[in-house]
Amino acid sequence: MKTEILKATEESIEKAAEIIKDGGVVGLPTETVYGLGANAFDSSAVEKIFEAKGRPKDNPMIVHVSSIDEVYPLVKKFPEEAKKLAEKYWPGPLTIIMPKSDKVPARTSGNLDTVAVRMPSHPVMRKVIEKSGCPIAAPSANLSGSPSPTNAKYVFDDMDGRIELILDGGECEVGLESTVITLATEKPRLLRPGGITPEQLEEVLGEIIIDKAVKSKLEENAKASSPGMKYKHYAPKIKVVIIKADKEKYAEYVSSHSKNAAALCFEDDAQNMSVPTVTYGRSDDSSSQAKRLFDALRELDETGAEIAFAHCPSDEGVGLAVYNRLLRSAGFEVIEL
């Protein structure tokens, strides 16, 4: 299959919608990361996403809608708390898990009795959903296990020959996948941190539970609250180790372990580095780190180094999402100095 990249225009959006209506898969820009989209109600279309990504079959998709009305056919119950969250944070980087209706195929929900729903803010994604006339199931547009793509070129690098079309809508604004919260449990539980912070969720919901797997490795044989927690994620080819230290100690550590090494550090660390360096935002600005992290992980592979020492970010606010992704890309290896 030949894979075409088209700048997002009225015409190419129309083409993407036609492919989706016909049961195909398209690479689409959203404000979080690029997604691989197909008709969420069509099992065989969704199956093609699993195949293109090499995604484990029990890992469910997020279903994207362009209006609140589109949520009702997807869910058994649209809880009041979900409506309040939607009112405050949609369209935006928040996914809400709710009990699913019978209309959502088991393929889309990974055989679970719940469904994950999000209303994205990216105008291109919104238009594609509207024109397709169906909710769009879309996981991140990377090969399973790799960092999520934040531009059309990175989607092409992973998906060349696997899908028909990629719409180029520029760089993603947030750079990390959406926050995932479940309201299908007794107490609201944060399963994946993202652009909407725990504090923002608590403004609406009161106290929430932060799943243990957000900041630590799932214990062997433990049941994952979200299937995605079980799998290897966001890993570049190079080995990544996180160094938790202040600026000086971090720089000293890197220079004393410089053989075949690269640094994944903040812009304000860069001048002190003695090895090939890739930066990811400023040390005091979690949003700038979020926006850069996945690109930086891909760029590390181009340095030719064998190991990357990553300067540990703050885990406050949006920083929790940055830390969560970096931790997984490092296989949970952290050295504290």
**Binding footprint of ligand AMP on the chain (CB under 6 A):** 59-60, 62, 97, 109, 112, 114-116, 139-140, 177, 180, 191-192, 226-228
Q: Computed from CA positions of residues 191, 188, 92, 264, in that sequence, does the dihedral angle turn out positive or negative?
A: negative
Q: What residue 115 binds from ligand AMP, Mg ion, none (CB within 5 to 8 A, per partner kind)?
A: ligand AMP
**Residue (19 or 181) nearer to ligand AMP, CB:** 181
Please calculate the CA angle 84-198-121 and round it to the nearest 5 degrees. 55
In whole angstroms, the minimum distance from the beta carbon of 140 to Mg ion comes to 3
**Residue (46 or 261) nearer to Mg ion, CB:** 46
Alpha-carbon gap, residue 91 to 233, rounded angstroms? 26
Q: What residue 112 binds from Mg ion, ligand AMP, none (CB within 5 to 8 A, per partner kind)?
A: ligand AMP
Alpha-carbon gap, residue 307 to 300, rounded angstroms? 9
Alpha-carbon gap, residue 139 to 62, rounded angstroms? 6
Q: What residue 98 binds from ligand AMP, Mg ion, none (CB within 5 to 8 A, per partner kind)?
A: none
Q: What residue 226 binds from Mg ion, ligand AMP, none (CB within 5 to 8 A, per partner kind)?
A: ligand AMP
In whole angstroms, the minimum distance from the beta carbon of 98 to ligand AMP comes to 9
Q: What residue 126 binds from Mg ion, ligand AMP, none (CB within 5 to 8 A, per partner kind)?
A: none
In whole angstroms, the minimum distance from the beta carbon of 149 to ligand AMP comes to 11
**What letter would DSSP give residue 35?**
E
**Residue (227 or 317) nearer to ligand AMP, CB:** 227
Categorise residue 309: left if φ over 0, alpha if ψ from -120 to 50, beta otherwise. beta
The contact set with Mg ion (CB under 5 A) reads 140
Work out the end-to-end distance of the chain between its first and last CA atoms, rounded to an integer number of angstroms.
50
Strand order in the sheet with 307-311: 277-279, 261-265, 307-311, 239-244, 334-336
In whole angstroms, the minimum distance from the beta carbon of 160 to ligand AMP comes to 19
63: nearest Cα among 136, 130, 127, 114: 136
Residue nearest to ligand AMP (CB): 228
E strands, 234-325, are 239-244, 261-265, 277-279, 307-311
Q: What residue 92 binds from ligand AMP, Mg ion, none (CB within 5 to 8 A, per partner kind)?
A: none
In whole angstroms, the minimum distance from the beta carbon of 231 to ligand AMP comes to 8
**Residue (81 or 285) nearer to ligand AMP, CB:** 81
**Residue (17 or 163) nearer to Mg ion, CB:** 163
